[in-house]
Amino acid sequence: MDELVVTITRGDACARRTCEYRLPALPGASVMDVLDYIYENLDPTLSYFSHEACRQSACGKCLVRVNGKVCLACGCPAGAGPLVLEPWNEHVVRDLLCE
Amino acid sequence: MNNNELSCNVLVVGSGGAGLRAACEACAQGASVILVSKGRVNRSGATLLAGANVSADVMCDGASLWRMGVASADPTDSPERWASDILCEGFFLNRTDLVEQYVSQAPARVEELLKAGANVTAADEGGRQIGVPGSSILDVLFRKASASDRLTVLQDTTLCGILPAADGSAAGALLLDIPGGRLISVRAGAVVLATGGMHGCYTFNSGTTGLCGEGHAAAMRMGARMSLMEMVTFCPDVICAPSRFRGSILPYILQCMGYGHLENRLGEDFLSKYLSPGAVELALGSEWNKLLLSYAMYREAQAGLCDEHGGVRFSLRGLTPARRAELEETLPQLRRGIYAELMALHDRQGGLSVSAAGHYFDGGIAVSADMATSVPGLFAAGECTGGLFGANRVAAATTQMLVQGAQAGQSAARFALSAGPRTPDPAALEQLRAEVLAPFSCTGGESPRRLRSEVSEIISRSAGIVRCERDMLLGLQQLAQTDRPVTLSQKERAANRGWLDYLEARSLRACGEAILRCSLARRESRGVFMRSDYPMTDNDGFLCETVLQNGKVSLHGITQPAAEPGRFDYFDYLERVFLRLSYAPEVTVQ
């Protein structure tokens, strides 16, 4: 089975670490869908913007750095990976959630 | 006082159109206002996605719109004629005092939106409406609200519950700052709920992720009267797959403009299997398309003729190149960003998988024409209220939020400024805090995410497009069983998604129970409400408002001379009522 490998920079602004997740390929998924999959199935401690997300590239709140480039998690296709996900700015609340 | 304890004259919960408009008005009345937004203040709630953020209908009677210089408006229209149409559209369950307030205030609200420079994308949409993107409405309102130095905004903050004073009136609220994990108690002279819909009740819905009925649930815990909670509008033509575009109503907007057609997985037209020729015309040529197409899609799914995503195909393939060019000319948004990608996907696949999604909640917190709820000091506005549109909303949620928001802001400010500061009951505050914090001290409980999913799966199964007693009784029983302890994997309060899932599951469960209890009491089919076990529209037995209060449902008869006595076949009656609309001749009904 195809596998999607996702590396996420976690922790707060003072203590960062990276975690790797392996999940089944998700055809047609966005980076937001990948994060939801990890939160729901692999790691319920993951933080990212999801509490009031439009999921249609309209609210602009789900910014994340995907393979070095800042984009909206909901509007960015996950593709076949691998994905390296980092906070989009330095004001990290936790994991991928920034101020 | 520290920043976990705040006070104001008016607390407004929700920052979509209704909340922002309420905040503007309360500030203008001289009140100090705290405005709470679950997400980003000017980019949250259903307002943002109204009309797929391309073109949301903003309405008032044609004569008023014509006076504002909208050339396509119908100068022979009147507020009275519009009100009579709204009653027919709502199958006569509307609260007439709310309808009167709505049609009389709508012109002023629409005019101020135009004067403030809202971006009108379509001015030729028929006699009573203009089109404005949801984001433009939010921008205009937020600009106005931020101009007041009496306004404090709390973003990324959710409502945990309303705080009662010792006499049971509303005296503030307990809030959660989601990123910071802080509980904030607010003392307020009055509270306005503008929390929008209960979209999270349905696993497939067209709302933002945060719309979880917190306002409804909080009002119910205060013992507020709820009205017509069984009335839920589903939107057909909502994208099912791929997951990246799931929940987008763009195909519905295109279909309303006359573009595109639907077919099942065998490539067949299916509407005529379930709808009479007259109803098919209404489904394809009128704004009554939501309930008719949703019903046909439900039946097609039951017949096993949907695709692997549970959808039917929406396709623009039949358009001539000239029509397609005309469409892209009319909606230039289709040529850029997410919609350009969506159109490219459509062209590659020859269509999009669409189905009916939980979309708009016609029922909600009962209010009088001044937007007061049955709880002193508690007001509500916009989609979280019930009664204005009866059993079927056509015209229009964006205008509802502006009209009711302004009224609620004014009423709440007057109440707060005359009643003076209020003190929440300390015991009630402690009890609510304990309930909210319970999962942190619980071991051996379940995953809050799993429980939240279970709650929406149960509601989706038992309170869907077509309901029956057996499913609903089972649904109620299953919902009660979801009230189980949860344990959090993340122990820190800050940015704790699991904690939020617990709080949302708690609200969604209360909303689902309310929808089911009211649905069980209405033993008929009417407007957006359909039952397989009671398929007739029954004006003799159920021309009534379902009222839910403290967990008990009662039926209150409505005196409405326009509704003829008798029991009618649902579809025959729908076609008959349609013919009474002032705009009916525009659609040829056979």
ipTM summary value: 0.96
Residue type, B251: P
Q: How confident is the model at residue A1 (pLDDT cuts 50, 70, 90)?
A: low
Kind and range of the H or E run holding A18: strand A16-24
Average confidence (pLDDT) over B10-25: 98
How far apart are alpha carbons B408 and B378 in whole angstroms?
Answer: 10
Among B95, B131, B190, B179, smallest CA distance to B495 is for B179
| Beta-bridge mates of residue B467 | B531
Question: What are the residues facing B352 on neighbouring strands?
Answer: B314
The residues spanned by each domain of chain A are 3-98
- B454 CB neighbours in chain A (<8 A) are none
Identify residue B364 by its one-letter amino acid code: G
Distance CA(B458)–CA(B464), nearest Å, equals 10
Q: What is d(CA A50, CA B39) in angstroms, rounded to the nearest whole number?
A: 9
Q: What is the pLDDT of residue B589?
A: 44
> Residue B25: what pLDDT?
98
Are B474 and B481 spatial neighbours (Cβ–Cβ below 8 Å)? no
In whole angstroms, how far apart are CA B462 and each of B316, B391, B534?
33, 19, 15
Nearest-CB residue to B244 (from A28, A40, A60) = A28
How does pLDDT run across B126-178, given as a tens digit for each residue?
A: 689 999 999 999 999 999 999 999 999 999 999 999 999 999 999 999 999 99
Q: Is A58 in contact with B158 (Cβ distance < 8 A)?
A: no
Q: B38 and A52: CB-CB below 8 Å?
A: yes
Check pLDDT > 80 for residue B2.
no
Shortest Cα–Cα distance, B209 to chain A (Å): 5
Mean pLDDT rounded to a whole number for chain A:
94
What was the pLDDT predicted at A14? 85
Token pair of B428, please?
């009630």
Q: What is the DSSP letter of B535?
A: -
Q: Tokens 């203009």 belong to which residue?
A: B130
Determine, for residues A47 and B495 on separate chains, whether the beta-carbon distance falls below 8 Å.
yes
- Predicted confidence (pLDDT) at residue B590 exceeds the cutoff of 50: no
Q: Could you tell me the pLDDT band of residue B47, with boundaries at 50, 70 and 90?
A: very high
Residue matched to tokens 């989706």: B460
Pairwise CB contact (< 8 Å): A44 & B210? no
User: Taking CA atoms, what residue in A is nearest to B207?
Assistant: A54
Distance between CA B369 and CA B99 in Å, rounded? 9
The SS3 call for residue B531 is: strand
In residues, how long is chain A? 99
> CA B124, CA B433: separation in Å to the nearest integer?
52
C-alpha to C-alpha distance for B575 and B454, rounded to whole angstroms:
38
Give which of B100, B49, B29 is closest to B369, Cα–Cα: B100
Query: Which residue, chain included where needed, has tokens 């909340």?
Result: B19
For the segment B289-348, what is each residue's pLDDT rounded down to a tens digit? 999 999 999 999 999 999 999 999 999 999 999 999 999 998 898 999 899 999 999 999
Q: Using the beta-carbon criterion (under 8 Å), do A59 and B53 form an inter-chain contact?
A: no
Per-residue model confidence (pLDDT) at position B536: 98
CA nearest to A59 within chain B: B43
With a cut of 60, say whether residue A96 has pLDDT above it: yes
Mean pLDDT of B539-545: 98
Contacts of B500 in chain A (CB under 8 A): 51
Contacts of A44 in chain B (CB under 8 A): 447, 449, 489-490, 497-498
* Cβ contact B38–A33 (<8 Å): no
User: B497 and A50: CB-CB below 8 Å?
Assistant: yes
pTM over 0.95: yes
Chain A residues closer than 8 Å to B449 by CB:
39-40, 44
Query: Which pLDDT tens digit goes with each residue over B553-565?
Result: 999 999 999 999 9
∠ CA B33-B508-B435, nearest 5°, is 70
The domain segmentation of chain B, as residue ranges, is 232-359, 530-586
pLDDT tens digits, residue range B468-511? 999 999 999 999 999 999 999 999 999 999 999 999 999 999 99
How far apart are alpha carbons B414 and B417 in whole angstroms?
A: 5
Q: Does B588 have pLDDT greater than 60?
A: no
Using pLDDT thresholds of 50, 70 and 90, give the confidence band for residue B221: very high
Distance CA B17, CA B23 (A): 10
pLDDT band for position A47 (cuts 50, 70, 90): very high
Q: How confident is the model over B85-118, as pLDDT tens digits?
A: 999 999 999 999 999 999 999 999 999 999 999 9
Residue B123 pLDDT greater than 70, yes or no: no
- R_g (Cα) of chain B, nearest Å: 23
Nearest CA-CA partner of B91 in B543, B534, B572: B543
Q: Considering chain B, what percentage of its residues have pLDDT values greater than 90?
A: 90
Q: Please tell me the CATH code under which domain A3-98 is placed.
A: 3.10.20.30
